């Protein structure tokens, strides 16, 4: 029965999702963690036992001697990681691999000796070429090392030293010649104009001493001694104006007045 009052219509309320800020997103998002060794090493699946064995052989290729007759197809990824001396050692213990390692030796020759060429006329293999070039390089290094040592010794023995020499003292003979001159009495006498340690002309020991009056009895000329040097320096002459000023200054007393 209708009473005349209309009933209110039911409206559905829709809640919009709340937008999170960047800081809230960081809190909500969890960091991803990986468990196990496979994820860290880069494997997307469980590695095979063959791959693990090859990886172990590659890491320890320097310790391999005999391969037990394994074919080259299996050992190729291992031999690719071997250095020339290690590859030589493996071939010496496994001669059947010499026919299959030609490409490996070619790669080593082009990498270490790019300017060298293989002697095809002499039927030289790539391994023989590598051994020849390596031996020539070692001999060249030893030759250059010995040459450098000899030049260093020569420079060390023939090094020049600076010495002070006075041309007024005459040339100094070598030690062995000086000994022979002293023994035979042919040593050169020092020149008369040689200087002593004090810078004065040295006395000639071969000159005889003068007899007669002593040096004190000789008349002195101008205050000079026997060697010609003045015994006392001369007093400098004062200018006239300066002498007059000094004379006036002597008459002034300490109190500022003139002395009587």
pLDDT tens string 144-161: 999 999 888 888 776 665
Say whether pLDDT at 129 is over 60. Answer: yes
Please, which residues bridge with residue 195 across strands?
201
Residue-number span of the structural domain to which 145 is assigned: 49-156
pLDDT band (50, 70, 90) for residue 248? confident
Residue 126 forms part of a structural domain:
yes
Give the per-residue pLDDT at 189.
60
Tell me the three state secondary structure of residue 5: coil
* Whole-angstrom Cα Rg for the chain: 54
State the DSSP H helix or E strand holding residue 78, giving kind and residue range, or none if neither: helix 72-79
CB 206 within 8 A of CB 189: yes
pTM: 0.45
Say whether pLDDT at 99 is over 70. Answer: yes
Say whether pLDDT at 6 is over 50. Answer: yes
Nearest to 69 by CA among 102, 50, 93, 49: 93
Residue 114 forms part of a structural domain:
yes
H/E/C letters for each residue in 231-242?
A: CCCCCCCCCHHH
Say whether pLDDT at 141 is over 90. Answer: yes
Report the alpha-carbon angle 66-72-77, nearest 5: 95
pLDDT in tens, 27-40: 556 666 655 544 45
Q: Phi and psi for 39 in degrees, rounded to 5? A: -65, -40
Residue 67 forms part of a structural domain:
yes
Residue 228 forms part of a structural domain:
no
Buried b (16+ CB within 10 A) or exposed e, 181-218: eeeeeeeeeeeeeeeeeeeeeeeeeeeeeeeeeeeeee
Tell me what percent of the residues of the chain surpass a pLDDT of 90.
Answer: 31
Longest dimension (CA), the chain: 180
Mean pLDDT, rounded, for 217-226: 49
Give the per-residue pLDDT at 177.
85
Residue 220 forms part of a structural domain:
no
Residue 1 forms part of a structural domain:
no
d(CA 63, CA 240): 108
Residue 203 forms part of a structural domain:
no
Distance of CA 63 to the CA centre of its chain: 37
CB 118 within 8 A of CB 126: yes
Number of domains in the chain: 1
The sign one gets for the Cα dihedral 91, 92, 94, 98 is: positive
Residue 119 forms part of a structural domain:
yes
């Amino acid at each position: 029965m209708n009473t005349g009052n209309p009933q209110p219509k039911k409206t559905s309320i829709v809640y919009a999702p709340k937008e999170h800020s960047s800081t809230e997103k960081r809190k909500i998002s969890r960091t991803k963690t990986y468990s196990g060794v496979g994820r860290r090493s880069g494997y997307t699946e469980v590695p095979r036992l063959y791959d693990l064995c090859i990886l172990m052989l590659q890491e320890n290729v320097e310790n391999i001697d005999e391969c037990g007759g394994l074919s080259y197809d299996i050992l190729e990824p291992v031999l690719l990681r071997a250095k020339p001396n290690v590859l030589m050692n493996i071939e010496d213990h496994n001669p059947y691999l010499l026919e299959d390692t030609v490409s490996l030796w070619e790669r080593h020759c082009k990498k270490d000796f790019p300017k060298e060429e293989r002697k095809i006329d002499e039927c030289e293999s790539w391994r023989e070429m590598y051994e020849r070039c390596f031996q020539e390089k070692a001999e060249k290094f030893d030759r250059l090392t010995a040459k450098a040592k000899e030049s260093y010794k020569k420079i060390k023995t023939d090094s020049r030293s600076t010495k002070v020499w006075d041309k007024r003292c005459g040339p100094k003979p070598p030690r062995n010649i000086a000994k022979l001159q002293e023994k035979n009495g042919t040593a050169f006498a020092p020149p008369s104009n040689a200087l002593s340690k004090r810078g004065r002309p040295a006395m000639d020991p071969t000159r005889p001493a003068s007899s007669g009056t002593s040096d004190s009895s000789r008349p002195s000329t101008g205050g000079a001694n026997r060697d010609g040097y003045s015994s006392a320096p001369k007093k400098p002459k004062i200018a006239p104006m300066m002498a007059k000023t000094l004379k006036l200054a002597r008459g002034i007393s300490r109190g500022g007045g003139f002395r009587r």
